[in-house]
Amino acid sequence: MERDAALEAVFMPVRPASTFEETVERLGSAIRLGLLAPGDKLPPERELAKRLRISRSTLRQALTALVQSGHLVSTRGRTGGTFVAEQPPLAERDGEPLGQDAWQVLDYRVAIESGAAQLAAERGGEAQFDRLDELIAKMGEELENFEEYRRTDIRFHIGVAEAAQSPRLLSAMTDVQSQMSDLIALIAHPPEVLASSNEQHARLLKALRKGDGARAVRCMREHTEGTEHILAGLLPAPLRLEQTSA
């Protein structure tokens, strides 16, 4: 009964603000915790989307991310479907577990990105904001090529730190973007998800142009939380997000 209740929680409706990220987190955590065991078949796509109260396109994106990460396998035919992999990955890179170190990098990112957003709103100039606008437009053209998108994305975040006009903060932003690249490489990035991420960039820039530091920080936090939700489904820290939000 306890297992049934826990498994039922896996398929509760997902909050609409970050449906893709939370779906990856929900299913990835269930696999890691054994609530969805190796070989288990997920409910049919139509039924699963209805239970989670998300669109089928969003569900497909989440399932694709988990297939690409090795947590799920998908087969076709009369007996086909989406199954938990027989040997799901253990969230390791180069033989070393990612757990606590990864979350420390994510915490570091929150501190640096939020601080940069606040100061950029206070100190940034039009020329710097125009450059960020150009980078947003460029990312909009790179949604089908994640490698190019990520390079532009890094320049955007470094550009926010440049607008903050703090050499030490700029150095820290460069460092955190380098560390984040290893974690981001673990995540699948469908074009629709990149488009959503870039819309967050645009909302952030709007707040920066208005000099609204509080709103800029909220926009940046929303942006960084998306990555956290996805990694929470892949890394050995299932309660990490709840603990930090308490």
pLDDT (tens digit per residue) in 81-125: 999 998 877 544 444 545 568 888 999 999 999 999 999 999 999
pTM assigned to the model:
0.72
Average pLDDT score over residue span 64-70: 84
CATH fold of the domain at 2-84: Arc Repressor Mutant, subunit A (1.10.10)
Render pLDDT for 192-232 as a digit per residue (tens, 0 to 9).
888 989 999 999 999 999 999 999 999 999 999 988 887 87
Q: In terms of DSSP bridges, do strands 96-97 and 92-93 run parallel, antiparallel, or are they unpaired? A: antiparallel
Are the CB atoms for 194 and 149 separated by under 8 Å?
Answer: yes
Whether pLDDT at 46 is above 50: yes
User: How many whole angstroms separate alpha carbon 40 and alpha carbon 62?
Assistant: 17
* Percent of the residues in the chain that have a pLDDT greater than 90, as a whole number: 46
**pLDDT at residue 25 above 90?**
no
Per-residue model confidence as pLDDT tens digits over 134-148:
999 999 999 999 999
Q: What is the residue extent of each domain of the chain? A: 2-84, 92-238
pLDDT of 244 over the 50 cut? no
Mean pLDDT, range 174-199, rounded to an integer = 85
At residue 223, the pLDDT reads 93
pLDDT at 185: 78
pLDDT for the residue numbered 235: 66
Average pLDDT, the chain: 84
Confidence check: pLDDT of 15 > 90: no
146: tokens are 């994640």
The CATH architecture one would assign to domain 92-238 is Up-down Bundle (1.20)
